[in-house]
Structure 1
Amino acid sequence: MGLHDRYPAYGGRGPGDLRLGIGLGVVATIFMAMRIYVRLRINKFGTTALIWSLVAWFLTAITQTFGVISILHGLGNKLEVVIATNQLGNYLLFTWITVFFFNMAIPIGKVAVAAFLIEMNKQGNPKIRRSLVAVAVINIVLNIPQVILQWFQCSPPSALWDATRQDQCNHTTSVHYTYFVGAVAALSDFYLAIIPVTMLAPLRIDRKLKWGLSFLMGCGVFAGVAAIVRTWAAKFILSDDPPYGVGTLFRWGEVEEWVVLITMSIPPVWPLFRPLTTRFIKSGGSSRSPNQYMQYNQYGYRSKNGEMGSTAEPPIVTTTISISSTKGVSAAVEPVGASSSADSISRYDEEEPETPHTVLSHGGDPEGWVELSHYKNRHS
């Protein structure tokens, strides 16, 4: 027995929306599992962002679950079919439950992205940090009325899912506020997608790596596009055929939610994919000749007390991406000693950024989010 036989109101745009949502949800869930694995087994960076991401994933999963139930009871199908199959009441109940969790999942997803970028820019430009905090706070604050307004569209509120009392509901105020909040959400998505690109742009690293990371971290623009279409589709709540039109709203809403979770999870799981990309990445730091390092002190290194030391075996150097909060000083690839997260091999330039910060690695940890390369200086 197929779904059409068990759920006679299932049809129209519903099947397509169901497949799309479940497919994106599976991909996002796999990425979240990989993020947890990286956090537990590889590095300890990004805990706050991971917690927010898990909350966003949980709310989005609930939204998707009730969305599937709504589809089975008529969401995305024609109104006359929903009425003829006596499923209008179930459609209204499960659709508004879906909307309730959706209105909570959307801002939490934005907060999760902002938290990730704040940790990425922890010692970087304070203006960027403040702007990211502002984006997170604005999305939370503006969505509180959105959640509350839903329950005051009908008098009494229970009429919201009562098919016989829909004349006691007025959705106009809620829909107009949705336009405003949706516009803010779309702008937030675009901003959160552009900011990491501006962080990576000045770095003197391999061009393929730079543009690859910029593209992956900038894929949040697709969530912004989905937010625009989803906001436009809110008008179908006031149309003569709400179940069919709201199917469009739900489709783009689930795209927005899952794409945010997927794109924010790509950088944290980079250590798992790094071996696969080694052949395509040529580290900017590898262009230094061994003589440049030998000029420092013939395999010498500076110890914590400032004295010079030497070993028979040259030190292992880890190339990491660094961002500086010092204005006017460009970020560069900086060699970091793998034996200690606090000590650096040397300072090659006379001017050193005041507060260097590893963008996708933590404290020089060789198992950070993005480790460009390992190489060992050898003197022949």
Structure 2
Amino acid sequence: LWIMDASINISMEPFRAFVGDNLPSEQRTTGFAMQSFFIGTGAVVASILPWLLTNQFGVSNEAPEGVIPDSVRLSFYLGAAVFFVAVLWTVIRSREYSPEEMASFEENQEREEFAKAERTLEEYAANGSRQMKLGWVLLVVGGLFSVWLATAELYQVMILSAGMAFVGILLVLSGLMQKGGRYDNGFVTIMNDFQDMPHTMKQLAWVQFFSWFALFAMWIYTTAAVTSYIYGTTDTTSALYNEGANWVGVSFAAYNGVAALVAFAIPVLAKKTSRKIAHAICLVCGAAGLLSVFIISDPRLLLASMVGVGIAWASILSMPYAILTGSLPPSKMGYYMGVFNFFIVIPQIVAAAILGFFVGRFFGGEAIYALLIGGASLVLAAALTLRVEDRDDVAAAVSG
């Protein structure tokens, strides 16, 4: 599954850069909103596909222990075929501007000049020294923290300290190469580009971190939270538990359906306010959805909670990318879009590493509190969104 997930991410991420490359700034919000629509629609279809194959086409959903049912297997085959055809169609049929054409567009020239600014030999050496100092700090702190966690037998959290130490090693290597005059290579370029991320991207990174942290909290803990808190059971073999788990599946399909519908309204809201205000509003809706689960006793009301989550989901899939593309130089659009994906992966790692620890240590293992943490995380993401500098909005205000 992890190979499949990585492959899908790698093949799909260029399409976000593709939207940024091919659409002018005033159309990007709508362009990314359309992606939200199709992602939501696809998720709904995928959610109901096993049921549809069983109930409408007679495909068996039963199998011996340890064997995947035919309905699930066929769903994966159909998904793979649709995915392959969709990607192939886009690659073959879509026109792409050349780097020279992209750089010639007036709105891109300022950003491209920033990207092409070259350091002198002395500046590379000084930058290498800074990276080495930071790298050694991260390496030592990460190493010591790992030793302490191992002593305390908190092995699950060690992935964070190990990651810190690994980043430290990369910075030390990059610094050594720059100080030695070996800066004209892909590794140093990648490290320096990461260091020199546009200001808007750095601001959005924090928004993305807390947004996706909340989403991973929801995806990991909703089933456990709903079955224990609303259905009152933790017995995974009981009929009541499976009823609750199935209803969570229905609720997840519902928020994807809401996202598909709301995608068309987000550009309208952004036009009436601004993109960052629209995104903040959507994130607050998502926070309300997650927090409201705490006061629900009737499972059917989960669908109301999922309306808020669906609104946030639609915006998370579109608005940060619409804001980001306005700050990126065309020649590095693909690279920075890939780097932006780090701020989806990193919160996933952090959530997997610390949520279980926090819920077990401070909340008695009650999964419902993971959803409350997720709701608080979305509120923080909304507040951080209001601090983001949206270059296209600023440009529109000036020209207006």
More helix by share: 2
More strand by share: 1
TM-score (norm: length of structure 2): 0.25
Larger relative contact order (Cα-Cα within 8 Å, sequence gap ≥ 6): 2
